[in-house]
Structure 1
Amino acid sequence: MNVLVYNGPGTTPGSVRHTVDTLRYLLEPHYAVSTVSSKVLLQEPWQAKTSALVFPGGADLPFVKECRPVIPAIKDFVSKKGGRYIGFCAGGYFGSSRVEFCQGDPLMEVTGNRDLKLFPGTARGPAFDGFKYKSDVGARASRLLVNNGTEFSCYYNGGSVFVDADSCDNVEVLAHYSESIDVPFSDTNSNTKPAAVVLCSVGKGKALLTGPHPEFIPKLLEKGEHDSDFPAHLLDELKKDDTKRLEFMHYILSKLGLKTRSNYANYHIPSLTPLLMVNNPYNNAVKSNDFEERVVENLDDVIVAGNHLEFSAEEDSFELFKGISDSFKEASTHLDKNDPKNSVKTIVIPNDDEFASMGNVAPNFNFQKYFMTLKESNNIGSILMYGEVVTSTSTLLNVNRTLLSSLPENRILHVGDVQLAGRGRGGNSWVNPKGVCASTAVISIPLVSPATNQNISISFVQYLAMLAYCKAITSHGSGFEDLPVRIKWPNDLYIMNPDYYYSKNLQLLGKKFDHKLVPLTDIEPAYVKVAGLLVNTHIFGDRYTLLLGCGLNVSSTGPTTSLDRWVDILNEERKKQNFSVLPHVEKEKLLADYMNYLEDILKTFINRGVCYLLPEYYNYWLHSNQIVTLSDHGNTRAMITGITEDYGLLIAKELAPGSDYSFTGSVFNLQPDGNTFDIFKGLIAKKA
């Protein structure tokens, strides 16, 4: 499930960064924490896949203006669907029934009712005098008295007090300000302390609202992620209580009903590791040294610095080393404890005689298994660029075009065990934990087919890449063909929900592609997402260069399910039938098979066309004969019958009124990037 952090008008970059980093630290891998815009909240089917929606610090009025169309969906998400809302500071004001801010100040006063009404009373502030917009001059370390008896200092800048919160039936005050505040905190002459953090029960869901910023991380503040007005003395006090801050965040998130990381107290966000660029040792035509030569040719500012080259691309700086024994330790030192976002990226090319010792520097990836599975003749995937901890396998190449143009053509597969800044189709970002296989294949396709002289429509590539991955999964070994993987249009991979499997007492052994096991009306409870594909496109000369980024949950315990979980389920059936048990998925073999199938499929596509591939694609996808509602076409009911062979558009045939089988003759062709498809509601809506 997702935890979505609003990032748009009203937020500040610092508040978003602190919010995302703290939530990832505490909640992953149980939840995928990502940022979203109001456009995503308005147009995408986010509610069914989301556990919590978060509004960080900033300013409440822009929230009101930007998110007014989304407020009914947020209220519905919390009260009717049992979702959670978290509002830090400005998000706390936004989630209350009324805001009274800087009353009497003609330049800063904001007073008025709010529509969310998750807290039934008034959020009044600033609790402490001295606040200025876009400034830390009024920031302080406020003391919070937690309702479990603990007390700690917390970053504060302009937040509210929740008036008479102790008197509200549906509100539990989780923390009070222990100091005197500068605005009235009770309109009923209550003798309680001022409420700083409240937990509200709203219908089936809950809302957690704060006045201060318990999500703010002292180490980020120490790195200078604040303005010049930041009071220097604050850091020491905040750092001193940082352990208590994390304990408090763990406490209030648990009270909200979210599952937190069990080892959060000892968890440390890992540093980046060097990228190993390894060519296929069984194919003499593949040379990773070509990369070094092309870097020198393509870039003007290459510097020879001792035993390595230094160069910069559009967004990142790089260091290129040669030889593991000579330079891997040094390359690692350049990354250790540095901010991954701004850190130099180091690349190490092993010497030819170092392949057998790769396990010494990359113990979590078996290069020999990968290259032994890869077909010797394969171009795609014949050079592996592997990092144990990376920023994003997709973004690194996409935003550094000169680096991308310097890579050996149609050969690179970039793999990371842990992604610190993975990217999704809607621009969302998240951390991929261990167990999620993150990869980006760099492929090259001509603009025109050399066999047919027809222009090539690259919109099909996202479909074909998912087909290749499905074939790799279901052919991983005898028995893997029973794994219930399915493709959701246009580029997500879904698998049956284990809860659905057990609730229906299904048997999958020997069933392969039996779609009748799950009625189309049961798609919502039956399937959950296990992978997503992101395609970025560049043109160099007469060829497309496409980045096929995919994160596949092989063995991680969250946030939905994994391939290995399904191997265990199939093995329960196999044991009952006295069949041999299936081994868990080997990511190296899976990736190599993915590259093998991808190369064969793309050759067929380029030389013969997509018509030879669509029948097999339909075997795997979820939507054959699914009945949907086209909300942008007068809520027309239609049946999905396939994909057009020219531009890969979804074919939806209008159904006659009252019928699930008869057609009117009207046909709608829908674009993948122009529409959003909520399989859980059978709804297709046009994007703005």
Structure 2
Amino acid sequence: MNVLVYNGPGTTLGSVKHAVETLRDLLEPYYAVSTINSKSLQIEPWDTKTSALVFPGGADLPYIRECQSIFPRLKKFVRDRGGIFVGFCAGAYLGSGRVEFAEGNPALEITGNRDLQFFPGIARGPAFDGFQYDSEKGAKAANICLQDGSEFYTYFNGGCVFVDADEYDNVEVLARFVDEPCVSYYDESIRTKDSGPAAVLLCSIGKGKALLMGPHPEFIPRLLSKTEDLRFLKDVVGVLLQYEDQRLRFLRDAFTRAGFNCNNDFNRVRAPNLTPLLVSSAPEKRNMVNEFKKSLIADAFNKNDCGKSTEIECEQNIFQVYSGFQNCYETAADILRNKDPDEVVKTIIFPDENEILPPVKTVPNYDIAKYFKYLNPDNTVGSLLLYGEVVTSTSTLLEQNKRILLSAPSSSLLHVGTIQVSGRGRGGNTWINPKGVSALTVAVDLPLRSPLTQRNISVVFVQYLAVLAYCNAISSYGPGYEDLPVRIKWPNDLYAMSPDYYHKYDIKLLGRGSDKFLVPLSEIDPAYVKIAGILVNTHFMADRYVALLGCGLNLSHDGPTTSLNSWIKLLNKEREAARLNRLEPIEVEKLQAFYMNNLQSLLKRFVDYGAGPILPEYYNLWLHSNQVVTLNNHNDIRAKIVGITEDYGLLIAKELVPGSNSEFTGSIYHLQPDGNSLDVFKGLISKKVS
């Protein structure tokens, strides 16, 4: 399930970054934490696929302007669906019944009732004086006391106290300010009890919960330390660093009480150090490695000889380029230790003249020799491997440094990372990809026209080819693997049957791997869950298309859905009952090599003959044949999906006679998605063509 952090007008860059990083540390692998904007909140079916919606710090008036239309839906999400609302600082003001902020100060005053009213009372602030928008001048380390009497300091900047919080039956106070606030936290006329100023609340709303925090315990001290403000470093960050363990324990306890399944090792899941990027190829193609290195250094914007390395500058990053795995690995790794992954100079190591592959000790989680063993020796695609144990993002590194792409031989470069600390998805969402996720980005080139037919190449089809190639790699992994219930969700997501659905309906899969009718069309949504998605970035470079195909596939990591190797275990139970041999777990190196083999084959067929011969294979694996959709921009008419156009890859849908699922009016529509959507079929743009 998703945990969505609002990122739009009203938020600050820092508040979103701190919230997202803390939530990922706290909740992954059990939830997929990502950001969402106001448009997506309005048009997407987020409430059916989400456990929690989070509003971070910032300013609540812009939140209201952008998101007011979704407030009724948000309240229903919490009250009726059992969802969780989390509000930090401005989000806590937003989730209260009334805001009274800086009353009497014309420059800052904001007062008024609020619609959500998860906390029915007043959120009054700033609790402590000195607040200034877009500034740390009023920030402080605030002392808060927990229910067990323990205390710790947390970041505070403009947050509220919850007035008369003890008077409400649906409210539990999880933490209180120790210091007396600068605003009143009670109303004398109604107060019957007073245990101190409420700083953090857990509110029960129907089936759901609202977790509201006046201070900012989600703010991470190590990130706050990146400042030149000496007062802030000493008086705030210096204090917060002393209470880091208490902060983490409090967050885990508060989120567990709210109903989250939290990571039990929160204090150990910080993003690890990056590792050097290692370049290799099959022995017979080591000339490609030499060509890549020579071109990369020669064509860099700036380069400096640093003794053991050559420092080069690409579009976005600076790289230290070394020669010799054995002699240079530790030096290159030292540069990366205890540095910010997104800011540190990256290191690349090429083999020296006596080396081919990196020593096993430098790549304990990936068998490079095994990858090249299974890669077709005639392959160009994937024949030049850029591997890192811990990387930022395989997609972002190549996307932001096109000099690397231009330096590599055509259609050869594959970037693989065992752990991504800034993994990237559609819409700019980022996350940490842990071990067990097959994370890669491959660069492929396509001509503008087919050399065989001289027809123009429609580069949009590369996403279909990529997801089909991955499906084929899985089903052809070996005898029996074709029974894995893996399907394509248009246009380029990989889905697997939900184990819960499989058990609920006692479905049998042996011998039915290609059966398109395992699940009724009406139950596709609950029956299948996402295990991978293809991220495509296309560039026009040197009279050709260069497409970056990124993918993170749940191979043996189940959070937050399922994985291929979990399905191997389920299939093996059926196979044991039928007295068949067990299937071995899928190995990431072999699967990635098969993916490259299938991708090269499909790309060649596509360039030579177009999409027509390949589409039947895609249809055999997708979930949408004869699916009925509603076309919102055509008076909500109903239409049935019958295929994909061969020119621009649009869905073809025939209009249905009202009240029928089988009779057509004769009108045909071409459909495309409306941007990045959690459910593409809820945001289709349709154009009538006949």
Q: Compute the TM-score of the two structures, normalised by the length of structure 1.
A: 0.97
Distance 1:677 1:615 in 2: 26
For residue 528 of structure 1, what is the aligned residue in structure 2?
529
Distance 1:196 1:675 in 2: 37
Contact 2:5 2:35 in 1 (8 A): yes
Distance 1:321 1:673 in 2: 45
1:259 to 258, 261, 282: 261
Cα deviation for residue 538 of structure 1 reads 0.9
Q: Does 1:216 align with 2:215?
A: no
Distance 2:215 2:572 in 1: 50
For residue 571 of structure 1, what is the aligned residue in structure 2?
572
For residue 373 of structure 1, what is the aligned residue in structure 2?
374
Cα deviation for residue 355 of structure 1 reads 3.6
Once the two structures are superposed, the pairs formed by residues 485-634 of structure 1 within 5 Å of their partners are 485-634=486-635
Q: 1:296 to 1:674 in 2, by over 3 A?
A: same
Q: 1:664 to 1:674 in 2, by over 3 A?
A: farther
Distance 2:638 2:86 in 1: 37
Contact 1:7 1:37 in 2 (8 A): yes
Cα deviation for residue 648 of structure 1 reads 0.5
For residue 57 of structure 2, what is the aligned residue in structure 1?
57
Q: 1:636 to 1:229 in 2, by over 3 A?
A: farther
Contact 2:10 2:63 in 1 (8 A): yes
Distance 2:314 2:231 in 1: 34
Q: Which amino acid aligns with 1:107?
A: A
Q: 1:603 to 1:408 in 2, by over 3 A?
A: same
For residue 111 of structure 1, what is the aligned residue in structure 2?
111
Distance 2:678 2:34 in 1: 20
Q: 1:451 to 1:228 in 2, by over 3 A?
A: farther
Among all aligned residue pairs of Structure 1 and Structure 2, give the percentage whose two residues are the same amino acid. Answer: 53
Cα deviation for residue 151 of structure 1 reads 1.3
For residue 657 of structure 1, what is the aligned residue in structure 2?
658
Distance 2:647 2:465 in 1: 14
Distance 1:677 1:207 in 2: 23
Cα deviation for residue 426 of structure 1 reads 1.6
Q: Does 1:183 align with 2:212?
A: no
For residue 124 of structure 2, what is the aligned residue in structure 1?
124
Distance 1:77 1:542 in 2: 50
Distance 2:522 2:29 in 1: 30
Q: Does 1:281 align with 2:283?
A: yes
Contact 2:202 2:212 in 1 (8 A): yes
For residue 338 of structure 2, what is the aligned residue in structure 1?
337
Task: Specify the SS of the correspondent of 2:394.
Answer: coil
Task: Specify the SS of the correspondent of 1:434.
Answer: coil
For residue 413 of structure 1, what is the aligned residue in structure 2?
414
Distance 1:352 1:507 in 2: 54
Q: 1:484 to 1:352 in 2, by over 3 A?
A: farther
Distance 1:475 1:643 in 2: 25
CA deviations over 1:136-169 (Å, ceiling 9, x no partner): 1111111111123321111111100111121112
Distance 2:650 2:476 in 1: 28
Cα deviation for residue 675 of structure 1 reads 7.9
Q: Over aligned residues, Cα RMSD in angstroms?
A: 1.7
Q: Which amino acid aligns with 1:96?
A: S
Q: Does 1:194 align with 2:193?
A: no
Cα deviation for residue 202 of structure 1 reads 1.6
Task: Specify the SS of the correspondent of 1:238.
Answer: helix
Cα deviation for residue 356 of structure 1 reads 5.6
Contact 1:644 1:650 in 2 (8 A): yes
Q: Does 1:683 align with 2:682?
A: yes
Distance 2:67 2:405 in 1: 38
For residue 269 of structure 1, what is the aligned residue in structure 2?
271
Contact 2:201 2:211 in 1 (8 A): yes
Contact 1:136 1:229 in 2 (8 A): no
Cα deviation for residue 464 of structure 1 reads 0.9
Distance 2:93 2:464 in 1: 44
Distance 2:129 2:392 in 1: 40
Q: Which amino acid aligns with 1:420?
A: V
Greater shift in the superposed pair: 348-357 or 290-299:
348-357
Distance 2:356 2:24 in 1: 35
Cα deviation for residue 506 of structure 1 reads 0.6
Q: Which amino acid aligns with 1:403?
A: I
Cα deviation for residue 408 of structure 1 reads 2.1
Q: 1:229 to 1:39 in 2, by over 3 A?
A: farther
Cα deviation for residue 465 of structure 1 reads 0.4
Task: Specify the SS of the correspondent of 1:629.
Answer: strand
Contact 2:78 2:205 in 1 (8 A): yes
CA deviations over 1:31-75 (Å, ceiling 9, x no partner): 222222222222333222222111111111111122223323322
Distance 1:441 1:424 in 2: 15
For residue 291 of structure 1, what is the aligned residue in structure 2?
292
Q: 1:652 to 1:518 in 2, by over 3 A?
A: same
Distance 1:161 1:276 in 2: 52
For residue 209 of structure 2, what is the aligned residue in structure 1?
206
Q: Which amino acid aligns with 1:337?
A: N
Unaligned runs of 5+ in 2: none
Q: Does 1:232 align with 2:231?
A: no
For residue 245 of structure 2, what is the aligned residue in structure 1?
243
Task: Specify the SS of the correspondent of 1:437.
Answer: strand
For residue 154 of structure 1, what is the aligned residue in structure 2?
154
Contact 2:672 2:685 in 1 (8 A): no
Once the two structures are superposed, the pairs formed by residues 28-47 of structure 1 within 5 Å of their partners are 28-47=28-47
Distance 1:676 1:128 in 2: 41
For residue 448 of structure 1, what is the aligned residue in structure 2?
449
Contact 2:46 2:678 in 1 (8 A): no
For residue 133 of structure 1, what is the aligned residue in structure 2?
133
Contact 2:171 2:201 in 1 (8 A): yes
For residue 425 of structure 1, what is the aligned residue in structure 2?
426
Q: 1:178 to 1:409 in 2, by over 3 A?
A: same
Contact 1:629 1:684 in 2 (8 A): no
Cα deviation for residue 108 of structure 1 reads 0.6
Greater shift in the superposed pair: 244-253 or 305-314:
305-314
Distance 2:229 2:522 in 1: 54
Number of residue pairs aligned between Structure 1 and Structure 2: 683
CA deviations over 1:389-435 (Å, ceiling 9, x no partner): 11100011111222322222210110111111111112111111111
Distance 1:42 1:346 in 2: 43
CA deviations over 1:571-610 (Å, ceiling 9, x no partner): 0100101111101110000000000000000000000011
CA deviations over 1:78-114 (Å, ceiling 9, x no partner): 2222211111101111111211100111111000111
Greater shift in the superposed pair: 257-266 or 574-583:
257-266
Q: Does 1:402 align with 2:403?
A: yes
Q: Does 1:145 align with 2:145?
A: yes
Cα deviation for residue 357 of structure 1 reads 5.2
Greater shift in the superposed pair: 90-99 or 274-283:
274-283
Cα deviation for residue 351 of structure 1 reads 2.9
Q: Which amino acid aligns with 1:360?
A: K
For residue 391 of structure 1, what is the aligned residue in structure 2?
392
Unaligned runs of 5+ in 1: none
Distance 2:636 2:30 in 1: 36
Cα deviation for residue 550 of structure 1 reads 0.4
CA deviations over 1:627-650 (Å, ceiling 9, x no partner): 111222211111111101111101
Distance 1:26 1:601 in 2: 41
For residue 10 of structure 1, what is the aligned residue in structure 2?
10
Cα deviation for residue 654 of structure 1 reads 1.0
Q: Compute the TM-score of the two structures, normalised by the length of structure 2.
A: 0.96
Contact 1:534 1:548 in 2 (8 A): yes
CA deviations over 1:180-215 (Å, ceiling 9, x no partner): 111111122342211100011122221111000111
Cα deviation for residue 673 of structure 1 reads 5.6
Cα deviation for residue 258 of structure 1 reads 1.0
Cα deviation for residue 263 of structure 1 reads 1.6
Distance 2:244 2:554 in 1: 33
Distance 1:32 1:674 in 2: 20
